[in-house]
Structure 1
Amino acid sequence: MSEKNKDELIDAQKQVIGILFEVIKRLQANNDLDDEYFKIISEEIKDETRLQQILNERSENAKIAGRLLEQLEI
C-alpha cells in the first residue's frame, strides 16, 4: 500500500471516528434531556415551556444524528 493510500485511509478513519463521536454525543444529549423531561413531568407544577424546548432539542439532535449517519452510508 502506497503512502498516499495509507494517508487517505487514515483521513477516512478520522472522519468516521469524528462522525461517530458526534452521533454518540447527540444521543447522550437526548438521554440527558429524557432524564430532565421525566423529572419535570413528575413534578406537581410542570414547566410547559421547558418541556417544549426539550422536545425541540431532542428532535434537532435526532435529525443531526440521522444526517451524520447518512454520511457514513456514502
Structure 2
Amino acid sequence: MSETEKDELIDAQKQVIGILFEVIKRLQANNDLDEEYFKIISNGTKNDDRIKKIINERTENAKIVGRLLEQLET
C-alpha cells in the first residue's frame, strides 16, 4: 500500500469517526429532549410552546442523523 493510499485511508477513517460522533451527539440530544418532554407531560404543566420546540428539534435531529448515515453508505 502506497503512502498516498494510506493517507486516503486515514482521511476516510477520520471522516467516518466524525460522522459517527455527530450521529451519537444528535441521538443523545434527542434522548435529552425526550426526557424533558416526558417531565413536562407527567407534571401536567401546559407548556405547548416548549413541547412544539422539542418536537421540532427532535425532527431536525432525526433528519440530520438520516443524512449523516446516508453519507456512510457511500
Same fold (TM over 0.5): yes
**Amino-acid identity (%):** 78
* 1:46 Cα deviation from its structure 2 partner: 1.8
Letter paired with 1:69: L
Q: Tell me the amino acid that sits aligned with residue 45 of structure 2.
A: I
Consecutive unaligned residues in structure 2, runs of 5 or more: none
Aligned mates of 1:45, 1:32 — CA distance in 2: 18
Runs of 4+ in 1 over 3 A off after TM superposition: none
Partner in structure 2 of residue 16 of structure 1: 16
CA shift for structure 1 position 52: 0.5
- 5+ residue gaps, structure 1, are none
**Deviation readout 1:1-43 (Å, 9 max, x if unpaired):** 1000000000000000000000000000000000000000011
Distance in 2 between residues matched to 1:71 and 1:15, nearest whole Å: 10
TM-score, scaled to structure 1? 0.98
